[in-house]
């Protein structure tokens, strides 16, 4: 019986010592902390610095984009970019370089958008707009925001832009105003829409055109300015409601101002008034240098003052 009591005391003593050491090590041992769970979005994104994106067509590089910082989602073909710069190379008219605050490119669809855009066309024109979308498959660009265009001889603003990159054409869609220098003289204008063809060097003012220059005012439906080697050579106006040249007032279906000859040719329902004379016909030519009017079988009327 005594031996049994001694055995129980030893048994309970071993248990007590075990509990004591277990409690001691529980307090002293550092607590194991599980690593924080990474958000699902963080696991799906790759961040790249100084990233480059290159588009090729028929073995030729047509677009290059470089971003100071880019984010690529694993399960998406889109790339988000910050501090963007790049270039687009046209088959006909060289390259267009651009910069932007940020942008998005869908590599699969070859579409994207650049925000805070500044673009240079042939180092001749600068275009600024808050945002511009592009489609490389269609060689097109578009935007709905305000647009400003500056060049050595051009200042234009408008709302909305469409660009046909391959053809070298772009249009401003509405609320257009600006100026173009012709022979060193400024022609200021307002119109509904504007188109520039860099291949043919044509400026087209379309819809409710009102243009004012030195000794000239034109109110017409459409006006085309034809250039060569960066200089305007000829202006054509259609459905001319009024054209004022050195005190001569005319209206016609069409008027062509040839700067090399310093002449204006009016055709189609022409009516010209100069001082006390009025000419009507289908063809009237005005020599601006000599200030002489002539025509093909014109109907002439002398306007007597006070009559």
Euclidean distance between CA atoms 10 and 12, whole angstroms: 6
pLDDT score at 22: 41
- Integer Cα distance of 247 and 275 in angstroms: 8
Q: Where are the domains of the chain?
A: 139-302
Predicted TM-score of the model (pTM): 0.75
pLDDT value of residue 275: 82
Q: Give the C-alpha distances (Å, rounded to integers) separating 91 from 99, 136, 153, 163, 199.
A: 21, 13, 25, 15, 11
The answer for residues whose C-beta is within 8 angstroms of residue 116's C-beta and 6 or more apart is 100, 101, 102, 130, 131
In the prediction, which pLDDT does 284 show? 92
Q: Within 10 A of 67 (CB to CB), how many other CB atoms are there?
A: 24
**Cβ neighbours around 48 below 10 Å, total:** 14
pLDDT in tens, the chain (307 residues): 444 444 444 444 444 444 444 434 334 444 444 455 545 455 578 888 888 877 766 666 667 888 889 888 888 888 899 999 988 776 655 678 889 999 998 888 889 999 999 988 877 789 999 999 999 888 899 999 999 999 888 999 999 999 988 788 899 999 999 999 988 889 999 999 999 998 889 999 999 999 999 889 999 999 999 998 878 999 999 999 999 998 899 999 999 999 889 999 999 999 999 888 888 889 999 998 888 888 876 666 555 455 4
Model pLDDT, residue 14: 44
Q: How far apart are CA 242 and CA 220, in angstroms?
A: 7
Greatest C-alpha distance within the chain: 156
CATH topology of domain 139-302: lipopolysaccharide transport protein A fold (2.60.450)
Whole-angstrom Cα distance, residue 280 to residue 303? 13
HSE, side-chain direction, 13 A CA sphere, residue 163: 22
């Amino acid at each position: 019986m005594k031996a049994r009591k001694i055995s129980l005391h030893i048994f309970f003593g071993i248990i007590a010592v075990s509990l004591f050491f277990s409690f001691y090590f529980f307090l002293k041992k550092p607590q194991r902390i599980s690593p924080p769970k990474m958000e699902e979005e963080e696991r799906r994104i790759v961040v790249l610095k100084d990233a480059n994106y290159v588009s090729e067509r028929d073995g030729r590089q047509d677009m290059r984009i470089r971003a100071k910082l880019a984010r690529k989602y694993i399960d998406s073909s889109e790339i988000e970019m910050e501090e963007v710069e790049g270039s687009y190379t046209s088959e006909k008219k060289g390259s267009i370089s651009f910069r932007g605050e940020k942008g998005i490119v869908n590599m699969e669809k070859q579409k994207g958008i650049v925000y805070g855009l500044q673009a240079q066309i042939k180092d001749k024109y600068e275009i600024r707009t808050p945002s511009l979308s592009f489609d490389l498959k269609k060689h097109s660009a578009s935007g709905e925001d305000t647009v400003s265009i500056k060049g050595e001889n051009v200042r234009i603003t408008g709302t909305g832009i469409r660009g046909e990159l391959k053809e070298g054409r772009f249009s401003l869609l509405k609320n257009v105003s600006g100026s173009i220098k012709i022979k060193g003289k400024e022609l200021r204008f307002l119109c509904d829409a504007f188109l520039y063809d860099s291949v043919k060097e044509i400026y087209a003012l379309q819809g409710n055109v009102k243009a004012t220059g030195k000794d000239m005012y034109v109110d017409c439906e459409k006006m085309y300015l034809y250039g060569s080697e960066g200089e305007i050579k000829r202006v054509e106006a259609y459905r001319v409601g009024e054209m004022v040249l050195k005190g001569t007032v005319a209206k016609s279906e069409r008027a062509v101002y040839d700067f090399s000859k310093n002449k204006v040719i009016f055709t189609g329902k022409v009516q010209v008034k100069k001082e006390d004379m009025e000419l009507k016909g289908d063809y009237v030519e005005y020599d601006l240098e000599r200030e002489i009017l002539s025509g093909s079988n014109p109907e002439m009327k002398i306007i007597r003052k006070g009559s």
